[in-house]
């Protein structure tokens, strides 16, 4: 059985890192150069895309909106309202599937700015999408068909795993967990590296050991299909070194710290949704 080659044209409004990673992922998954176009007012952004991916770029957002079957919004949240209002005439005429990877901005506001009645998917990828290891949550409004859901998922799966959530509010939870999550692990790596130095390791060795340990643990959790709690128990021998370390973490309230951190990030995501949803 052969995989059906995609035929839609995907247009990106904005050519920053996330748009670049998605476009590159689509190329690796069989999308042709003629099916991808990016718009960005900054010449250096366009030149970077052209050099790295050999894709067409333009300065005019409306030109992309007039052509795209799938329109990916990839601009900064504080400017999306203004950008979307200017795109509304072209979008209303073309009626593409709209995919927003803009943090915080809700579907109702995007739909209003674009003139209403559109099929819109809101998603939150994270920065590991830049290396094809992203994790994205998606939510579709009622106008999105099953075929369009498949299209949206195929685009995000080009740079990692995807999860559909049952209501839009949960995108804020996705933002708090996986959207902001890479920074949590970078902080952990930073702390483990310093801890290794504190017990006598060379700084370079401490960093390498911390990073490779994180990679190995994540790979075991992903590929083994077992609960993290079970994996933890298997490497925590009674009376051993790991047990002593885990006791310190538990007594220091690590679980509570992480819970409060994710709750704070989710609250801020909701606040930003209120802020960015105001009229441009």
pTM, full prediction:
0.90
> With a cut of 70, which residues of the chain have pLDDT below it?
1-5, 279
Pick from 139, 90, 80, 144: nearest CA to 118: 144
**pLDDT value of residue 278:** 79
Nearest to 229 by CA among 209, 246, 248, 211: 246
The domain made up of 10-173 has a fold known as Rossmann fold (3.40.50)
Q: Where in the chain is the domain with CATH 1.10.3730.10?
A: 181-271
Q: Are residues 132 and 159 in contact, defined by beta-carbon separation less than 8 angstroms?
A: yes
| Total Cβ atoms within 10 A of residue 81 | 19
Domain with CATH 3.40.50.720 in the chain: 10-173
Q: What 8-state DSSP symbol labels residue 128?
A: G
The pLDDT value given to residue 3: 47
The pLDDT of residue 4 is 56
Q: Could you tell me the fold of the domain covering 181-271?
A: ProC C-terminal domain-like fold (1.10.3730)
SS3 call for 111: helix
Question: Rounded to an integer, what distance in angstroms lies between the CA atom of residue 10 and that of residue 56?
Answer: 12
- The β-bridge partners of 36 are 10
Gap between the terminal Cα atoms of the chain: 49
Three-class SS state of 118: coil
**Residue 1: per-residue pLDDT:** 38
Q: Report pLDDT for 5.
A: 60
Distance CA 127, CA 199 (A): 32
Q: How far apart are CA 219 and CA 221, in angstroms?
A: 5
Model pLDDT, residue 224: 83
Structure-token pair, residue 84? 């979307």
């Amino acid at each position: 059985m052969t995989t059906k080659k995609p035929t839609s044209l995907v247009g990106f409004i904005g050519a920053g890192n996330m748009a670049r990673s998605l476009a590159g992922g689509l190329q690796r998954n069989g999308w042709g150069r003629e099916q991808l176009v990016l718009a960005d007012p900054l010449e250096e952004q366009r030149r970077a895309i052209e050099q790295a991916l050999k894709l067409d770029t333009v300065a005019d957002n409306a030109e992309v909106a007039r052509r795209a079957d799938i329109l990916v919004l990839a601009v900064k949240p504080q400017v999306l309202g203004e950008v979307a209002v200017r795109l509304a005439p072209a979008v209303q005429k073309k009626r593409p599937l709209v995919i927003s990877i803009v943090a915080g901005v809700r579907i109702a506001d995007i739909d209003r700015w674009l003139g209403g009645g559109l099929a819109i998917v809101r998603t939150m990828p994270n920065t590991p999408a830049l290396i094809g290891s992203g994790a994205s949550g998606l939510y579709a409004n009622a106008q999105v068909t099953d075929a369009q859901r498949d299209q949206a998922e195929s685009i995000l799966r080009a740079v990692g795993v995807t999860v559909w959530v049952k209501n839009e509010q949960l995108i804020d939870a996705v933002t708090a967990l996986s959207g902001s999550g890479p920074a949590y692990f970078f902080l952990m790596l930073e702390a483990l590296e310093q801890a290794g130095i504190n017990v006598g390791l060379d700084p370079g060795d401490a960093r390498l050991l911390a990073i490779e340990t994180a990679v190995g643990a994540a790979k075991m959790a992903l590929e083994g299909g077992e609960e993290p709690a079970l994996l933890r128990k298997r490497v925590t021998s009674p009376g051993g070194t790991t047990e002593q370390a885990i006791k310190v973490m538990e007594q220091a309230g690590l679980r509570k710290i992480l819970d409060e951190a994710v709750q704070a990030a989710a609250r801020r995501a909701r606040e930003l949704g209120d802020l960015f949803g105001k009229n441009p």
